[in-house]
Chains A and B, each alone.
Chain A
């Protein structure tokens, strides 16, 4: 109570400082007057009476100051006073302030920007109810190095029936269905879900209801839930939409609900989407019965309250063991538990953390530079500080004032940095894979502001302490007596050099990392994909399965389409294929070699699969190595044939001719067709440029058709004309067919390494900033050293030293700094680049050429930075130099 009252009094005093001061002074004077009068009465002379009274009273001024210190919020007042002084000091040297603020803005801004991505992706919880309990249940087969696969349907139903760890379990898959009858036919991203999908997320629809387990039963009327965006764009936000039919793949679905656009399906994050029960899907409903062993369905679950991740994992291990007995083909597969958050983030995590570390180093370099700058400045301000000490400021007061200046600088830098970050974040989304971009919006929000503020405070301490520790604790008398320069202590010069060395070492780490990524990226882009993408245009044509239910129709359509395309001038080099390398997701299928011993259960051989029309290899320019290619004669009526890639031939037929051998494989539901190998084609990078080409199997489209595919055309015509021709030709057969994913193949290849290109670019820019800052740091140290040694250099020259030897002297000093920095930086970089290894393609983290290049670059930059002050030293007039003090 008393404490509160006193604080109240202090606040009041701070506001009404003058009136109390006035009163105190009046009262004290009264007291003195009374005392003097009394002393006079006791017979003292007037002068003595006054003297005695004052002696007895004590120092008026000291008492008043004591009262102030006790009675007011001295801390804040001092701070405000310091702040005003600091503002004046900064305003008086705008050049220094600008350099300092820009340096810090780069450091803090880069950190805030990268942190905003980290915050959005790794820290912010997913936008679902109680997201910490949402998990993914992936299947893995450690023996075959397969992880994160989907679940097969029998395993899913078994798990749903017996698991006690989950309160809800749902599978999902996605593809496109054709929406007709509402304007231009369009492929709509369709999420195919099992009954518990929506109850898993505990979300509420905007209109109507969500899908319920009853909708997933055989025989129930097909229903659909629309996303709000689709409802607005395609259905004019019709409030009476519920109960009306929509046509998907020529089949009627009844709309039962609309989900708010804020709800995003994990992994399938397009916003213009709809949801249908798995049973009603033309494609995936078939997969619940036919391909028992295919692991196709991602499964999500919500943990039962009170069940920990470890308990759930234990249950999955027990369950996997029992599965292997029930389903022999499940032998070797393991069910796991992974948090939904980490499953969604996936591979994006490592590059983000690496970039965060990199910007941390940039900030450290910026701080080292600032410390150097402030040390130089503090030396120049020795006289000012000495005067203040002589006038009665104690060391603590001076330190506080200097810290206030650093704090002000770093807050200004932080503010500028935040502006920089806010401007940069929109482009930073490219760091993330597309579905993650949709899922997690990146912006500068509360946590990012807090992060930037904390960084500014830490930075101000880091660089603010240097001048206090090494510059402020000097003897004021020495400074007042001597010139400012003499006050420069040996210690502070050493600190300055150490800071420059540290900057070089940190820059080495960043440059080594960026160098490795650059080299890796160069390797990646110079890797031929195995086909020639230039001048190839692609477009996807898909056939609604309810309208075109029979494989014969698919074959007839593709033959018709290709015939019409090839009849047009400039489009003769056309083919159809599914899937396309790099542009599409690869399809991995198990196969067996006819006549060979069957592999043990659960260890099936697999290879990537593609079904292609005869001209595919000439369009893509994939060379044939042996045998023959597909021809128009390979039809459903003739022997099933296949082509294999070099890798498959090498691995599975090492000592024999594969031609004439038979493989059994096929796209579900025709998984068990024996096909004769008729030729070997060269390897291609099917999945991505960064993964090595694996075994591939090709089949003729006519013998293994799909409901549509990718049309590829090699043409010298303009890409837009080719795209228009594909569209027109398709519509000349059926004007309700959607033609989508139109792209040139070089574009698709480019897009596949957009993420590595962007992070390489970012790390390269960060290390460029680091290099620049380190160069400035070296320049600062050398320039200061030269100006400090002006007289010494003058003496040397007067005694006959040649300009060249002076140049050597100065350059040598710089070389010493950079060599020391390299000696520390290179081992440190070797420690850190290990973390890059997962991002590197065909480059080892210890790649000697990269490290040598970094070392040479730094030496060159250091010598350049030292060149200017060295030249100045060399051109000194000895007479002027000797007289300079």
Chain B
């Protein structure tokens, strides 16, 4: 069987992207909740500031995420003027988005808590 039929490398890469995008989406929603309506550049800056160098993501990947969130109805956008009077698209959280953020925050905290407990657990506690 030739290799291209089972191109595992490709599948694995795709999964990695999905995880990142999910995380990124959550960051976008939180940013918009905290800072209110903001253009893409602003969102990117905020994420960069908060995460520091820990998150090595190309800023460009943010835009497909923004577009998708808008298509899913979590955020809305309209054209407006940026600080230095350039045309820019401003994003704001919708009601759906707020609810989604709450749900996902809860899920995320739960998951994180579970993972924490696993890491904290000593080997004898499993037996």
Contact = CB atoms under 8 A, between A and B. Distances in A.
Contacts of B63: 24, 27-28, 31, 63, 67
Contacts of A5: 71-73
B86 A70 contact: no
Interface in A19-51: 20, 23-24, 27-28, 30-31, 33-35, 37
Contact of A58 (B59, B67, B71, B88): B59
B7 interface: yes
B54 interface: no
A395 interface: yes
Given A6-B72, A30-B40, A30-B87, A57 B59 contact: yes
A67 B72 contact: no
Contacts of B58: 56-59, 63
Contacts of A9: 68, 71-72
A64 B102 CA distance: 30
Interface residues of A, number: 35
Interface string A508-535: 0000000000000000000000000000
Contacts of A13: 71
A2 interface: yes
B89 A6 contact: no
24 contacts: A5-B71, A9-B71, A9-B72, A13-B71, A23-B67, A27-B40, A27-B63, A27-B66, A27-B89, A28-B60, A30-B41, A30-B89, A31-B40, A31-B63, A33-B86, A34-B41, A56-B59, A59-B58, A71-B67, A71-B68, A394-B7, A395-B2, A472-B2, A473-B4
A670 B49 CA distance: 116
Interface residues of B, number: 28
Interface of B: 2-5, 7, 17, 39-41, 44, 58-61, 63-64, 66-68, 71-73, 82, 84, 86-89
Contacts of A35: 41, 59
A33 B39 CA distance: 13
Contacts of A472: 2
Given A9-B71, A30-B89, A34-B41, A60 B60 contact: yes
B5 to A, nearest CB: 7
Contacts of A31: 40-41, 44, 59-60, 63
Contacts of B72: 2, 5-6, 9
B64 A70 contact: yes
Interface in A376-426: 394-396, 399
Contacts of A66: 17, 61, 64
Nearest to A470: B2
Interface in A66-100: 66-67, 70-71
A58 B58 CA distance: 5
B125 to A, nearest CB: 37
A473 B2 contact: yes
Given A5-B72, A396-B5, 20 more contacts: A6-B72, A9-B71, A12-B71, A23-B89, A27-B40, A27-B89, A30-B41, A30-B88, A31-B63, A34-B82, A34-B88, A35-B41, A56-B58, A63-B58, A63-B60, A63-B61, A66-B64, A67-B63, A395-B4, A396-B4
